[in-house]
Amino acid sequence: MDQAIPRKEILMKKKEKAEKRMSRTARIIRGCTAPPFCALVMLLILFFFKPGFYHSASNFGFAIAYLFFLPVLAYPLSLVFKFPKDSFRNNQRKLAVIFSVIGYVALLSTVLNNGFTSGELVIYLNYVISGVLIAITTPIPHCKASGHACGVAGPIASLVYFVSPWYILPGAALLAAVFWSSLKLKRHTLPQLIAGSLISMLVIIVAGAMQVI
Length of the chain: 213
For 118-183, the DSSP string reads HHHHHHHHHHHHHHHHHHHHTTSTTT---HHHHHHHHHHHHHHHHT-GGGHHHHHHHHHHHHHHHH
pLDDT of residue 3 exceeding 60: no
Contacts 24+ apart (CB under 8 A), 51-55: 52/117, 53/117, 53/119, 53/120, 53/162, 54/117, 54/120, 55/111, 55/114, 55/115, 55/116, 55/117, 55/120
In a domain, 27, yes or no: no
Kindly indicate the confidence band of residue 47, based on its pLDDT and cuts at 50, 70 and 90.
very high
What total number of domains does the chain contain?
A: 1
pLDDT of residue 92 exceeding 70: yes
The residue among 120, 78, 119 whose CA lies nearest residue 97 is: 78
Chain centroid to Cα 141, Å, comes to 20
* Rounded Cα distance, 43 and 156, in Å: 11
The residue among 204, 108, 100, 106 whose CA lies nearest residue 159 is: 204
For 140, list phi and psi in degrees, rounded to 5: -85, 115
For residue range 17-27, list pLDDT tens digits in order.
Answer: 778 889 999 99
pLDDT of residue 188: 86
Predicted TM-score of the model (pTM) = 0.87
Average pLDDT over residues 110-139: 87
pLDDT of residue 104 exceeding 80: yes
* Rounded Cα distance, 90 and 13, in Å: 32
Domain interval for residue 182: 36-209
Average pLDDT over residues 3-19: 71
Average pLDDT over residues 13-17: 76
CB distance 199 to 134 below 8 Å: yes
Average pLDDT over residues 102-110: 93
In a domain, 99, yes or no: yes
pLDDT of residue 213: 47
For residue range 169-205, list pLDDT tens digits in order.
Answer: 999 999 999 999 999 998 888 999 999 999 888 777 7
pLDDT of residue 78 exceeding 50: yes
- Residue 87, H or E segment: none
pLDDT of residue 110: 93
In a domain, 9, yes or no: no
Average pLDDT over residues 12-34: 87
pLDDT of residue 183: 94
Q: How many CB atoms lie within 10 A of CB 9?
A: 10
Averaged confidence pLDDT in the chain: 86
For 210, list phi and psi in degrees, rounded to 5: -90, 0
* Rounded Cα distance, 162 and 36, in Å: 19
Q: What percent of the chain has pLDDT over 70?
A: 92
In a domain, 126, yes or no: yes
In a domain, 7, yes or no: no
One-letter amino acid identity for 7?
Answer: R
In a domain, 205, yes or no: yes
Average pLDDT over residues 22-48: 94
Q: Which residue has the higher pLDDT, 1 or 186?
A: 186
In a domain, 24, yes or no: no
pLDDT of residue 101 exceeding 90: no
In a domain, 186, yes or no: yes
